[in-house]
Structure 1
Amino acid sequence: MEDYFAAHETARWILVGLLVAGTAWTTLRLLVIRGVDVAETPGAYAVNRESDAAHLAMSTAMLLMLTTSVAHSLWTAVFLVFAVACIGPLTVHLIRCRRTGPTRNIDGIAASGYHLVAAAAMAYSTLGHRGHGAHHMEGTAAQSLPIPFIGYLMTALFALDALVVVVLATTMPAPATRNPLHSHRIGVFPHFAMDVAMASMLAAALLG
């Protein structure tokens, strides 16, 4: 991945810009909106504090991965911890689903499941690297990702998901509120930024 972005600095900084914008917007929502969930669309795209927190953690980690020089083994551990952490909320939503039915819990199940897959995919993207961080280190050899089919599948999945987010955001009815922090059209932007960054970083890991 570092070799690819070393040769394509423009792509790196476009992703950095997307992730900075996504983390800034998510942080603003978490600080300003307290106890308010916006669920104008269902499933993994529901905007709520749980999803905001997951987007903030994942996007911040990817942002640091793109801009700092840290051993990839550390990032593997970080994303695996994120994946394990997602199991807790997912389990809670599944238990609630059994007790109260899927109607109230489907959003939480979809979102937690998505974040679990995203964290696992990013952990996978670090497995094909030796050396450190965002820049290639002389004397270190790149290593191919294990089972590349998984990488291509995940890249396609996140690219498709980003497209779905754009379609939903542009076709859904105009929000009833004038407060942009409550608008789902803008609220899904961190999800979109994460999708684009993950698809691009996975592709870079496969190509680099």
Structure 2
Amino acid sequence: MMQTELDLFNPASPAEPQWIGKQAVVLPGFALAWVDVLLPELRQIIARAPFRHMLTPGGLNMAVGLTNCGALGWISDRRGYRYSPVDPLSQQPWPALPPAFIELAALAASAAGFADFRPDACLINCYKPGNRLSLHQDRDERDYSQPIVSVSLGLPAVFQFGGHARNESTRRIGLRHGDVMVWGGEDRLRFHGVLPLKPGSHPLLSGRRINLTLRKAG
């Protein structure tokens, strides 16, 4: 499968939006000004709903740790993939979606051409060196007209952005701390994933990458 690469790790790369589809864009450094607000909120969320390795429908534990905030949280077990208003560990509602998360997502979506986006769910993934996310589509939401906003924090990662079939070619996109990706419209159901995270140390998040994926799920 042939792949093309967009190098956002290169300091010489422009800071302007990098369009990777007709309705898909990388916004380099878009979240940097928000980090001092995002991280304390993130710590509170994790204290109430810790990262966990959920079971796949096939009975395997996911390598990437995850948790959620918002009215709905994405979960997986032997019954399948779905959204739930309740954390299966605590049997309590997920922590509320912080206003800063909502505002950042709305501004990023607007910059990508999606006005009036208001997420009700945020899937939070924690990657450690070696962790990867295989190619998949986000199909568990009710309204595919709403975009996905993805915020990268911590260690750099290589994101794969493919086509509407799993065997179509993919682009490899370098994502750094503070970068935001938005995709929707005709690009909403493209296959995407993350290549194995390389070892490293980030001054704020040590040897981890945290990804906030904000969606309109309900």
Q: Same fold (TM over 0.5)?
A: no
Higher RCO, 1 vs 2 (CA within 8 Å, ≥6 residues apart): 1
Structure exhibiting the larger radius of gyration computed from Cα positions: 1
Structure with the largest fraction of helix: 1
TM-score (norm 2): 0.27
Structure with the largest fraction of strand: 2
TM-score (norm 1): 0.28
